[in-house]
Copies of this chain bind each other. A is one copy, B any other.
Amino acid sequence: MNSFSSLMKGKDFHSITTAEIAGNAAVTEGLIYKYFKDKKDLLYQVLGDHFLNFTAKIKARVVNEKTCVGQLEVIIFSSLESYADNRVFSKILLLEVRNSLEFFNSGAYGMVKEYAANILAIIEVGIKKEEFKADTDSYLLRKVILGAIEHACLGEIIFGRELDIDRVSKGIANIVFNGVKA
């Protein structure tokens, strides 16, 4: 998994060969298949590993926030931060796993679902506590937030652009919470 992770820093999943992974780990190709069902399974397990840290960090920060607005702001900031700090993680999650249906039966996807469910719960509490408008569509709000986060990172991941996490996270929160209409 370490060998694969470090190779992912430099190229995409498809252009990394099993021979390379094995060579880089100083074992033979066959051994990979003692521990992983196939190459994709290795990918999903590496993603799952990263996702554990990702959610742990977010959870630890969210508990310090009293308001739902504050909690969502923390989630937006922390997500952007994780994506920016961890290229391999974000490359896998945003660019590599989605094109194959297998992923959605993997353990890693279970964690994604949990993360998403958590956001939804916060939004629903926010509506009850009247922080948000009563007619807010919670699923849709989640989509807008998640979509904005992911799209904001794409340029950084694909072209290696710099991302001003603080500015972008505040900007997204501002648009979503207050709107842009004059």
Contacts and interface: CB of A to CB of B under 8 A. Distances in A.
A82 to B, nearest CB: 17
6 contacts: A13-B99, A98-B154, A132-B180, A141-B175, A141-B180, A177-B181
B148 A100 contact: no
A172 B176 CA distance: 10
Identify which of A94, A99, A136, A146 gathers the most chain B CB atoms within 10 Å of its CB: A99
A57 interface: no
Copies of the protein in its oligomer: 2
Interface string A8-43: 000011100000000000000000000000000000
Contacts of A172: 140, 143-144
- The list of the 5 closest CB pairs from A to B, nearest first, reads A147-B151, A179-B179, A147-B147, A178-B179, A144-B148
A65 interface: no
Nearest to A129: B182
Interface of A: 12-14, 69, 94-96, 98-101, 104, 130-134, 136-137, 140-141, 143-144, 146-152, 154, 158-159, 168, 171-172, 175-182
B95 A98 contact: yes
A176 to B, nearest CB: 6
Contact of A14 (B100, B133, B146): B100
Given A181-B177, A182-B132, A140 B158 contact: no
A140 B104 CA distance: 30
A14 to B, nearest CB: 7
A69 to B, nearest CB: 7
A151 B158 contact: no
Nearest to A130: B182
